[in-house]
Structure 1
Amino acid sequence: MKIGILQTGLLPDSLSARWGQYSDMFAAHLQARGFDTEAWSVLENDFPPGPEAADGWIITGSKHGAYEDHPWIPPLEELVRDIRDSGRPLIGVCFGHQIIAQALGGRVEKYRDGWAVGSHTYQFPDGPKTMNAWHQDQVVEAPDGAKSIASNPFCENAALLYDGRIFSVQAHPEFDDAFTEALIDTRGPGIVPDALLEGARAKLGSPNDREAIWTQFERFFREGTLT
């Protein structure tokens, strides 16, 4: 099964030298689970010819806001709707979670209570799951046909499951603690409040359920279900 990776953000050289780009991080997890992958850097206007270019799709995170005025965002929203109409499975992570919601009629905003950084726990139907987060924007109104299946007091729509074959999560199952620490050191200062950065640093090494989320992703791609 071939999964198309839609890359919506770029890492700076200081991080990409070790981790590659977001598409590489996603590809490593997907290939480890037996998927073939191909990536398109949509923020650089590199788009696939259509939904038929892959058997399933995943949209990465990004520093950009879904509501920002970038020339690549309207065609990405159109592609989201085309993938939905094709019946192929679609998964979104962080910005991917947000752009899917916006493309299908939901609302994304810069959250009034600020940032979520580092280890956060979310209540899923099968119990709590902990992942690393890095976001200020949130889906504040889910689209019609989308059900919130994970939340915590800070993020009401932490995971959305749509009628059909779309699933998205706000946090980052592709972020391990080493990468999260690199973000704390290189991208957080001057942007994220120091107290949040130090709180996130203190939680490094705590239990993390990101592999359980990748198992959900695999099952969703292959079987159309999370359990």
Structure 2
Amino acid sequence: MKVLIVQNYSTNQPWGQLTLDSICSHVVRSCPDAQVDICNVVDGGIPPPIDEYALIVLTGGTFNLIAEKPLPWVQRVIDLIKDVSNEGNERTKLVGFCWGHQVTHHALGGQLSIVDGTRILHKFHKRCVKTNASGFTPLEEGNENFISDSGRILTLQSHPELTGAISRSLIDGDDGSYVNNVRSDSGAELQHNNSQHDGGMVWNRIMRWVLDG
């Protein structure tokens, strides 16, 4: 099985490579023979033909899809999403996390909006899906998880690939996007970033979805 990770960010911070390593490890844990390719579209990478891949993973990112005109690399991601969603494509599945979740719905006719500033572990984001694209069914309330009616596109606002090391790197290298906006008055229980979480279980379910056809 071939898997393509579309890297929608460019950074020299440790979290950048740690994120890619985490995604790769989750894929290989479920499918040891998987070939995982990485395309950094932000730094000029051109996605290969989608029909080569059983799964495409859209990472998180920071490009403002609400306020900014799409850069060429963003348009390439949008075009890729449209190709995957094409009714003639029955081979390739796509999963998008955070920005990948948002750009998928943006590309297919949904609407985005600004969040209220709350930050929770596994959710590092400023924007959210206000109205999902047509042809998607919510998996829970809050517009945070959707599956396409075709069964080939899955989007999650969360980051199941996060680890304690990635979280620490994000916070340590923060430019004001996250730390200054954290709120502790939401009633949520605060836990150490190395606490156990269900990211691995989520990945197991994602890979079953991919492998079950």
**What is the identity percentage for the equivalent residue pairs of Structure 1 and Structure 2?**
25
Aligned equivalent of 2:25: 28
Q: 1:213 aligns with which of 199, 202, 209?
A: 202
Which runs of 5 or more residues in structure 2 are unaligned? none
Matched, 1:105 2:109: yes
Letter in 2 for 1:89: K
Partner-residue secondary structure (3-state), 2:23: helix
Q: Cα offset for 1:209?
A: 0.6
What is the alpha-carbon distance in structure 2 between the residues aligned to residue 31 and residue 64 of structure 1?
Answer: 29
Partner-residue secondary structure (3-state), 2:124: strand
Which has the higher mean CA deviation after the structures are superposed, 101-110 or 26-35? 26-35
Q: Deviations over 1:98-148 (max 9, x none)?
A: 11111111112222x124232xxxxxxxxxxxxx11111101100111111
> Residue 24 and residue 206 in structure 1: after superposition, are their counterparts in 2 closer, same or farther (change >3 A)?
closer
Aligned equivalent of 2:170: 183
Aligned equivalent of 1:126: none
> Residue 49 and residue 192 in structure 1: after superposition, are their counterparts in 2 closer, same or farther (change >3 A)?
closer
Q: Which has the higher contact order (CA 8 A, sep 6+)?
A: 2
Letter in 1 for 2:127: D
What is the alpha-carbon distance in structure 1 between the residues aligned to residue 160 and residue 35 of structure 2?
Answer: 19
What is the alpha-carbon distance in structure 2 between the residues aligned to residue 222 and residue 65 of structure 1?
Answer: 33
Matched, 1:167 2:167: no
Aligned equivalent of 1:96: 100
Aligned equivalent of 1:63: 62
Count of residues paired in the alignment: 202
> Residue 195 and residue 95 in structure 1: after superposition, are their counterparts in 2 closer, same or farther (change >3 A)?
closer
Q: Matches of residues 135-174 of structure 1 in structure 2 within 5 Å?
A: 135-151=125-141, 156-164=142-150, 165-174=152-161
> Residue 103 and residue 54 in structure 1: after superposition, are their counterparts in 2 closer, same or farther (change >3 A)?
same
Partner-residue secondary structure (3-state), 1:178: helix
Is this contact kept in 1: 2:19–2:162, CA < 8 A? no
Greater strand share, 1 or 2? 1
Which runs of 5 or more residues in structure 1 are unaligned? 119-131
> Residue 191 and residue 65 in structure 1: after superposition, are their counterparts in 2 closer, same or farther (change >3 A)?
same
Q: Cα offset for 1:193?
A: 5.2
Matched, 1:114 2:101: no
> Residue 191 and residue 48 in structure 1: after superposition, are their counterparts in 2 closer, same or farther (change >3 A)?
closer
Using the size of structure 2 for normalisation, the TM-score is: 0.84
- Two-structure CA RMSD over aligned residues (Å): 2.4
